[in-house]
């Protein structure tokens, strides 16, 4: 047994020793039992392994959700947040996939001594097997810079002494460095295709706590593991003679147990401790076992504390039974959600729309007014960039000319802004236009014959660095949104009689039900897992708030999708592979069901045309039809591709099919800079400004600065003779 000097206790006889990875010798000495609130939580690193054997995941190569609503002008739609959520799941799941190098921990022997002053001196012998090359090992100690670890050292194990008497004299030391962000010590031990043994020694300051009627040791031996640990033996010795432990409890989730207990000697064994699991020892000892430690005040007696531990042990013993019940509940919910997925995937409405949409010829869609096309495609929920459909509609009537021109100094001086812009010039008679078209001219053309994209765009990257300009651009944005809202109202008046949309009422019940279902199931699984009540309460507050928010914002699928992803990451901390696997399947199917839920419903005729528009979009993404090779036809296809969000794909496919001379001359819209400029003006330049989005636009807005008047309501309501205006809106 090592002498007092070997344990590195303070004192005048302490000799100088080699430097070690010491952690704040003056650390607050509160006792580990008091500090630990949730000994069973799992480190964020340990999110992957419990799903590695999931049969659904192992055969699931990619999560794809059809973007049935399409993108914006050139940008992606915001609705692929569902795909992003699934991709995020896969990213974390695949993070555990290894490479050619592999490390296994074959054996762990731990010898710990409870000292009279409440400190715990520990010696450990780890046996690693390395396949490939390995430069260092990590010993996770739950040390994030404020723990009670007095010192931590690593050595080449001696062959002439037994574990528990290794000490430090005449041993070769390995370099050790603390990684605070990881809560681990890194030990530099180069190894290649070999078995390596490493000896660790450390001392935990006041790991035990002493009361007037007895003492307690609450020690999480192995925590935050990033590898499976095999053949574990933990031996605890009470140093003070005749201080036999009063009660001993051991907790893990992998079948370990106390195999020997006698005369102050305790031994715990476990054949396999999975990487997410931990070992906790709770030992009650007489007060005489800690003679050098001052007694702390307590409001409970020893018998009460032991009774509480007995109750927790009983709760822990029911863990497997309760988690199995949770797995069964997940399984039944999977059946219910699967039925919903089948119902919505094969609904009569969807199948009827698909079949009737197949009967609509593509030529009819090519000749359709761009405004009507995008109105059908969006189910009436237009986006700010969709105002170009009105411009393209007037272009087809021969009232708009398009030409590429150099941008102004504002764009020329910025590295990321487009240097050439498409310029739209009006040359027709306003009296022959519809109200929405007349308003569009008065709003975006500002009573002139030109629409300047530079005056519609948001701040350049250079201007974003000048905070004084941002208020002006917020004003411009508010004006744009007000003008867009008025234009949208006029379109609703024009098309509302023939194209009718309504919110899908069952969604108001289904989404809150999904949120409540997942909230209740996750909380139950943590209760079944014997998680601390304080941690469960915190989860209930956070997840409960998320469930309420997702239910309130049920019109936006992104919120319920993000809530489900959060629930998954909370549930995956539970060390019970069958329950976590079933819950993963439930989350995945729930995301698919949410993706299939219709946001809005319409009449059968409009449904058929929308289905046809989606088919038309796929055709455009593949380059359109071979028949569309004339200049006028190509331009119409390009306009539709821009509006439906597949402009880049269409241009790339046509570029491969036709020589450059065959389509560059067809329309300035085929100029590569035209797509970039349109995307920049309506979308990219506004990213991050006032919560702006290329999606459905309502209030808010902006105006002014850096290039042009405010683009608010021009004052022309769309009535006959309305013209121009001085800019009007833009103010609050």
So what's the pLDDT on residue 97? 53
What pLDDT is attached to residue 140? 86
pLDDT tens for 490-536 read 988 888 766 777 788 898 999 999 999 999 999 999 999 888 889 99
Q: Which range in 9-18, 473-482, 706-715 is most confidently predicted, on average pLDDT?
A: 473-482
Which residues is 404 bridged to in the sheet?
422
The tens digit of pLDDT for each residue in 614-634 reads: 999 999 998 877 655 677 788
- DSSP string covering 533-554: HHHHHHHHHHHHHHHHHHHHTT
pLDDT-based confidence at 52, cuts 50/70/90?
very low
Q: What pLDDT is stored for residue 331 in this prediction?
A: 95
Least confident range from 136-145, 362-371, 710-719: namely 710-719
Least-confidence region, from 405-414, 663-672, 718-727: 718-727
pLDDT at 558 over 50: yes
Neighbours of 399 (CB within 10 A): 19
CA distance 499 to 605: 9
Has residue 542 got a pLDDT over 90? yes
The predicted pLDDT at position 29 comes to 36
Q: Spell 424-451 as b/e; 16+ CB within 10 A means b.
A: bebeeebeebbbbbbbbbbbbbbbeeeb
Average per-residue pLDDT for the chain: 79
146 pLDDT more than 90: no
Determine whether 723 is exposed, middle or buried from the number of CB atoms within 10 Å of its CB (0-12, 13-18, 19+): middle
Q: CB-based burial of residue 62 (10 Å sphere; 0-12 exposed, 13-18 middle, 19+ buried)?
A: exposed
pLDDT value of position 579: 92
Output the CA torsion sign for 599, 605, 611, 612: negative
Which one is predicted more confidently, 665 or 360? 360
CA atoms within 13 A on the CB side of 467: 0
Q: Which of 124-138, 242-256, 702-716 has the lowest mean pLDDT?
A: 702-716
Alpha carbon distance 456, 685 (integer Å):
10
Q: Which of 164-173, 290-299, 660-669 has the lowest mean pLDDT?
A: 660-669
Q: Is 6 exposed, middle or buried (0-12, 13-18, 19+ CB in 10 A)?
A: middle
The mean pLDDT of 627-646, rounded to a whole number, is 82
Instruction: Say if residues 543 and 520 touch (Cβ distance below 8 Å).
Output: no
**pTM of the predicted model over 0.85:** no
**By mean pLDDT, which of 144-153, 253-262, 345-354, 440-449 is the weakest?**
144-153
Retrieve residue 198's tokens: 């490493």
Find out whether 377 and 613 touch, Cβ atoms under 8 Å: yes
Mean pLDDT of 68-75: 44
Confidence bin at 99 (pLDDT 50/70/90):
low
Per-residue pLDDT tens for 405-464? 998 888 998 888 999 999 899 988 888 888 998 898 888 888 778 888 888 888 999 888
Among the ranges given (278-282, 567-571, 617-621, 695-699), the one the predictor scored with the smallest mean pLDDT: 695-699
pLDDT at 85: 60
Which residue's structure tokens are 């500090």?
Answer: 35
Task: Answer yes or no: CATH 2.60.40 is held by domain 5-10+100-317.
Answer: yes
Beta bridge partners of 279: 222
Distances in whole angstroms, Cα of residue 438 to Cα of each of 195, 446, 713:
81, 11, 13
> What sign does the dihedral 582-584-588-593 (CA atoms) show?
positive
CA angle 517, 519, 525 (to 5 degrees): 100
Arithmetic mean of pLDDT, 666-695: 80
In which band, very low, low, confident or very high, does the pLDDT at 659 lie, cut at 50, 70 and 90?
low
Give CA–CA dist 212/297, Å, rounded.
8
Task: Specify which of 57-66, 68-77, 188-197, 624-633 reaches the highest per-range mean pLDDT.
Answer: 188-197
Q: Is it the case that residue 76 has pLDDT exceeding 50?
A: no
Does residue 39 register a pLDDT over 80? no
pLDDT (0 to 100) of residue 547: 94
| pLDDT recorded at residue 380 | 83
294 phi, psi to nearest 5 deg: -80, 145
Looking at residue 230, what is its pLDDT?
93
pLDDT at 522: 95
Helix, strand, coil shares of the chain, percent, nearest 5, are 40, 20, 40
Domain boundaries, the chain: 5-10+100-317
């Amino acid at each position: 047994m090592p002498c007092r000097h070997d344990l590195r206790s303070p004192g005048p006889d302490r000799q100088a020793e080699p430097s070690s990875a010491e952690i704040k010798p003056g650390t607050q000495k509160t006792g580990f039992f008091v500090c630990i609130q949730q000994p069973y939580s799992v480190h964020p690193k340990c999110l992957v392994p419990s799903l590695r054997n999931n049969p659904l995941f192992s055969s699931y190569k990619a999560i794809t959700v059809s973007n049935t609503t399409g993108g914006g002008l050139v940008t992606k739609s915001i609705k692929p947040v569902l795909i992003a959520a699934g991709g995020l799941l896969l990213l974390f799941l695949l993070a555990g996939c290894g490479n050619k190098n592999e490390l296994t921990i074959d054996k762990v022997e731990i010898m710990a001594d409870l000292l009279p002053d409440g400190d715990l001196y520990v010696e450990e012998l780890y046996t690693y097997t390395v396949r490939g090359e390995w430069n260092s090992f990590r010993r996770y100690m739950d040390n994030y810079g404020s723990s009670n670890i007095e010192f931590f050292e690593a050595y080449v194990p001696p062959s002439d002494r037994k574990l528990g008497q290794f000490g430090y004299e005449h041993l070769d030391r390995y370099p050790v460095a603390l990684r605070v962000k990881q809560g681990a010590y890194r030990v530099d031990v180069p190894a290649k295709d070999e078995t390596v043994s490493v000896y660790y020694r450390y001392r935990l300051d006041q790991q035990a706590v002493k009361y007037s009627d007895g003492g307690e040791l609450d020690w999480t031996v192995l925590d935050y593991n990033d590898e499976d640990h095999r053949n574990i033996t933990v031996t605890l010795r009470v140093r003070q003679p005749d201080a036999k432990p009063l009660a001993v409890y051991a907790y893990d989730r992998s079948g370990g147990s106390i195999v020997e207990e006698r005369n102050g000697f305790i031994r715990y064994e476990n054949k396999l401790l999975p990487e997410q699991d931990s070992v906790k020892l709770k030992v009650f000892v007489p007060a005489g076992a800690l003679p050098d430690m001052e007694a702390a005040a307590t409001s409970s007696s020893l018998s009460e504390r032991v009774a509480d531990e007995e109750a927790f042990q009983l709760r822990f013993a029911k863990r497997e039974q309760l988690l199995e019940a949770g797995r069964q509940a997940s399984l039944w919910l999977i059946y219910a959600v699967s039925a919903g997925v089948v119902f919505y995937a094969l609904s009569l409405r969807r199948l009827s729309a698909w079949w009737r949409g197949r009967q609509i010829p593509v030529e009819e869609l090519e000749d359709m007014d761009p405004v009507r096309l995008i109105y059908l495609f969006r189910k009436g929920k237009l986006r700010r960039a969709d105002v170009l459909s009105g411009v393209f509609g007037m272009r087809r009537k021969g009232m708009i000319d398009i030409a590429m021109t150099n941008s102004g100094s504002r764009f020329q001086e910025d590295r990321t802004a487009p240097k050439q812009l498409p310029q739209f010039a009006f040359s027709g008679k306003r009296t022959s236009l519809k109200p929405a078209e007349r308003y569009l001219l008065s709003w975006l053309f500002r009573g002139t014959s030109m629409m300047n994209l530079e005056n519609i765009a948001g701040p350049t990257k250079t201007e974003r660095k000048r905070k004084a300009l941002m208020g002006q651009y917020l004003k411009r944005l508010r004006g744009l949104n007000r003008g867009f809202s008025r234009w949208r109202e006029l379109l609703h008046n024009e098309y509302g009689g023939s194209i009718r949309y309504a919110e899908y009422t069952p969604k108001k019940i289904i989404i809150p039900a999904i949120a409540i279902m997942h909230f209740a199931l996750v909380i139950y699984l943590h209760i079944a897992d014997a998680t601390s009540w304080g941690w469960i309460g915190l989860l209930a507050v956070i997840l409960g708030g998320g469930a309420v928010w997702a239910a309130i914002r049920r019109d936006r699928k992104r919120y319920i999708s993000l809530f489900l992803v959060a629930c998954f990451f909370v549930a995956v901390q539970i060390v019970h592979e069958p329950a976590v696997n079933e819950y993963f399947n439930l989350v995945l199917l729930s995301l698919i069901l949410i993706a299939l839920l219709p946001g809005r419903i319409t009449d059968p005729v409009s449904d058929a045309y929308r289905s046809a528009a989606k088919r038309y979009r796929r055709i455009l993404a593949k380059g359109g039809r071979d028949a569309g090779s004339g200049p006028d036809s190509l331009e119409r296809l390009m306009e539709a591709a821009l509006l439906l969000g597949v402009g880049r794909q269409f241009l790339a496919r046509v570029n491969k099919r036709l020589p450059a001379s065959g389509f560059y001359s067809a329309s300035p819209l085929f100029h590569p800079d035209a797509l970039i400029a349109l995307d920049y003006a309506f979308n990219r330049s506004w990213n991050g400004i006032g919560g702006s989005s290329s999606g459905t636009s309502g209030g808010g807005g902006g105006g002014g600065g850096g290039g042009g008047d405010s683009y608010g309501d021009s004052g022309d309501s769309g009535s006959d003779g309305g013209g121009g205006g001085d800019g009007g809106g833009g103010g609050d």
